[in-house]
Amino acid sequence: MKIKVSPESLDTLTYDSLAFGFFSDERPPRGYCGLADWRLNGLISNLIAEGMVTGAFMEKVLISSDHRISTPKILLMGLGESTQLTYEKLYTAGCTILQALSEAECTDFAFDIPGSGRCNLEVPKMAVAMVSGVFESENMKQGDAASDMVVLSGRDFFDEVVLGMHEFKVSVGRKTAVDILAETAPVRTT
């Protein structure tokens, strides 16, 4: 299994689908989900405003990018209130994301670690929880899913996400071989 931690922007992603967690108390959405909302001319915000999407924990909504970004499908995964986020919820979200994308016949996907730096959880442990959920999902165990993962992370938390992936590698070291590929984080300009 390969886990690639990537700082790619939405403009360069070429996956079959993307999965972004979002919160019921963040309006507009933030992080990669917020960037996708912006690229989609506020589609996600409009769905929220119309009450069609709430961000409730375990809510899943698959939307089309309508060619506004190169990835055709986006899975929105509700995580509830950001102040109530736990490692267990991130683990569950990881399992659910892989299940939902497998049902939508998406095998090539990337996801972010939602809430990085915006909640009281440690980013490396958040990354471990989310990736562990994907890794331990029934679809992965049954071989119904791709064996490689792409974890998106912006520059602010890139090193912490990479640290989490190395912690994950240590925790599953005897169960499976894991290679961590960390692309170079974008350089900060002042």
Model pLDDT, residue 143:
59
**How does pLDDT run across 48-102, given as a tens digit for each residue?**
999 999 999 999 999 999 889 989 999 999 999 999 999 999 999 999 998 999 8
35-44, 159-168, 178-187: range with lowest mean pLDDT? 178-187
According to DSSP, the β-strands at 149-152 and 2-6 are: parallel
Q: Which residue has the higher pLDDT, 188 or 9?
A: 9
**How does pLDDT run across 95-129, given as a tens digit for each residue?**
999 899 989 888 789 999 999 888 899 999 999 99
- Predicted structure pTM score: 0.88
The structure tokens 């602010």 sit at 156
Chain mean position to CA 174: 25
Handedness of CA 9, 10, 16, 20 (dihedral sign): positive
- Residues of the chain with pLDDT > 70, as a percent, come to 88
Model pLDDT, residue 188:
47
pLDDT tops 70 at residue 174: no
Helix (H), strand (E), coil (C) string for the chain: CEEEEECCCHHHCCCCEEEEEECCCCCCCCHHHHHHHHHCCCHHHHHHHCCCCCCCCCCEEEEECCCCCCCCEEEEEECCCHHHCCHHHHHHHHHHHHHHHHHCCCCCEEEECCCCCCCCCCHHHHHHHHHHHHHCCHHHHCCCCCCCEEEECCCCCHHHHHHHHHHHHHHHCCCCCCEEEECCCCCCCC
Neighbouring CB atoms inside 10 A of 70's CB total 12
- Report, in angstroms and rounded to the nearest whole number, the Rg of the chain calculated over CA atoms: 15
Q: Where do the domains of the chain lie, and which CATH numbers do they carry?
A: 2-182 (3.40.220.10)
What's the Cα-to-Cα distance from 149 to each of 18, 127, 182, rounded to whole Å?
11, 12, 12
pLDDT tops 70 at residue 190: no
pLDDT tops 90 at residue 11: no
